[in-house]
Structures are given as structure tokens and as C-alpha cells.
């Protein structure tokens, strides 16, 4: 980021305009969001989300558990958490995109989880929740789309209860030689072409791929999580670092 500007993919745009541009991307792809993630991950995002929920290990039985899924979009993570958690658990999906929330509500109601999962429109950088409201905060493939990552992390810390856990799943820096070359070829050549075929427009896919490349490396992002106040910070690479899960605790 430079003075007064922020990255939108590989472009610098006025900081005040970035969130609107990002919102426009997700308004275009909302109905095809899960297909988009299938294209970008080769279908692996579904397994990665299972890994995220497995690492979260929500309590079963009658233990109260308040879960917040930020940038939760279509409800993919929240529904998994509720399936894994006990009946006393509840989840709120908070997303800045009205279009993504509409897709998520249709999905959640369709699978009969509407009683346990709520929807709130809000910005990750200024969450509309009280301090110390949640036992767990998750964000999957969303934090790279906020304008100020440090503000989003500070908000995650604020809304978590003492003993609460932060978990982030995000595309990351490939750590395996040759896999990085193959992934670049897939990302910059195949995905935009597939996006044009499936959605009629490659531009949203161009931004999403470019935003992955601009996202901090694993160690750098882990340092940002620590700076936000979290302790016992760690991360796990998935598929050679194509994605990574980051964990931190509010002690």
C-alpha cells in the first residue's frame, strides 16, 4: 500500500474506492462462488475447509459455543462447524456483500440449518458486535479482500472472548519446488479462461488470482496475527502451501 492508495490485484487504486471494487467482484460471482473456488483450488477447498473445522474442533454435547464466520458468504464453513458442534452451538455469518449473504441464506435454509445460523451484513474492519462475544472466529478466503488486514485482525481479537480462538484459511505461498510453477500456470492461464467460459467474464478471476499473489507469506501473516495480540500463533500449510491455516488464541 502507498499513501492514499491500496492494491486491487496488481493495480493501485484510491484507498477509498478499493472496498467498492472488491464488493463489485463478489456481486458478480456470488451465484458461482463455490464453482469459482473449485476452479481456483482444483476442488481442494472443500477438503481444506474440513481441515479447518477439524483443527477448530468445536465442542460437542451441551457446551455453549458461539461461532463467528467473517466473509462467510455461502455458508460453507459455518454449516460445517454446526455439523461438527453440539446442539448448544450457534453461528453467525458476517459478510459485507449482500449478494453473498443472499446465496448463503438460500443454502442454509435449504439444508435445514436456519435455526442455528444467523446472517449479518458487516465489514470485517468494523464488526457490528460487542466486545468478547464469541468463542471462535473463522475467516476462509476472505481476509485478503479487506483493505486493512491489521484492522480486521484487531476486530477479530476484540470480539473474541478470553480463551477464544482465531482461525484463518487463505491461499498462500507455495513451498514445494516445481509445484509453484505449475500453480502459476494454472492460476494465470487456465483459471481466467475457465472463468470466461463459466461466467462469461475473466476479470473477477484475474483480481482474485492477483490478490492471492499480493497476500503476505505465511511467516509475515503469522507476525501480523501476533501483533494483533494473539498468542500461541501457528500455521499449517495445505497442499504444499497452496493454502495455509493460521491459528491464534486470545489469552
Looking at residue 174, the DSSP 8-state letter turns out to be: -
Going by the DSSP 8-state scheme, the letter that residue 138 receives in this structure is E
CB atoms within 10 A of CB 109: 13
pLDDT tens-digit map of 3-46: 689 998 888 999 989 999 888 888 887 887 777 778 778 789 99
Share of the chain above pLDDT 70, in %: 96
Q: What is the pTM of this model?
A: 0.91
Residue-wise pLDDT tens digits, 58-96: 999 999 999 999 999 889 999 999 999 999 999 999 999
Structural domains in the chain plus CATH codes:
5-249 (3.40.50.150)
pLDDT in tens, 156-210: 999 999 999 999 999 999 988 888 888 888 777 777 777 677 666 667 778 878 8
| Per-residue cell: 167 | 482461525
Three-state SS letters, 44-111: CHHHHHHHHHHHHCCCCCCCCEEEEEECCCCCHHHHHHHHHCCCCEEEEEEECCHHHHHHHHHHHHHC
Amino acid at each position: 500500500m502507498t499513501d492514499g492508495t491500496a492494491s486491487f490485484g496488481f493495480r493501485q487504486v484510491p484507498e477509498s474506492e478499493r472496498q467498492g471494487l472488491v464488493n463489485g467482484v463478489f456481486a458478480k460471482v456470488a451465484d458461482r462462488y463455490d464453482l469459482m473456488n473449485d476452479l481456483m483450488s482444483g476442488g481442494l477447498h472443500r477438503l481444506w475447509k474440513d481441515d479447518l473445522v477439524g483443527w477448530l474442533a468445536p465442542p460437542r454435547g451441551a457446551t455453549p459455543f458461539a461461532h463467528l464466520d467473517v466473509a462467510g458468504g455461502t455458508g460453507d464453513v459455518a454449516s460445517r462447524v454446526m455439523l461438527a458442534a453440539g446442539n448448544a452451538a450457534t453461528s453467525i455469518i458476517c459478510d459485507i456483500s449482500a449478494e453473498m449473504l443472499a446465496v448463503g441464506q438460500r443454502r442454509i435454509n435449504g439444508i435445514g440449518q436456519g435455526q442455528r445460523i444467523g446472517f449479518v451484513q458487516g465489514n470485517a474492519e468494523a464488526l457490528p458486535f460487542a466486545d468478547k462475544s464469541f468463542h471462535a472466529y473463522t475467516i476462509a478466503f476472505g481476509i485478503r479482500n479487506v483493505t486493512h488486514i491489521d484492522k480486521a485482525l484487531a476486530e477479530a481479537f476484540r470480539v473474541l472472548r478470553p480463551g477464544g480462538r482465531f482461525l484463518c484459511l487463505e491461499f498462500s505461498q507455495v513451498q514445494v519446488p516445481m509445484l509453484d510453477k505449475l500453480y502459476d500456470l494454472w492460476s494465470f492461464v487456465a483459471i481466467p479462461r475457465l472463468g470466461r467460459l463459466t461466467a462469461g467474464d475473466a476479470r473477477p478471476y484475474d483480481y482474485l488470482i492477483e490478490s492471492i499473489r499480493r497476500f503476505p507469506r505465511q511467516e509475515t501473516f503469522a507476525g501480523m496475527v501476533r501483533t494483533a495480540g494473539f498468542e500461541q500463533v501457528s500455521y499449517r500449510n495445505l497442499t504444499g502451501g497452496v493454502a495455509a491455516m493460521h491459528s491464534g488464541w486470545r489469552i
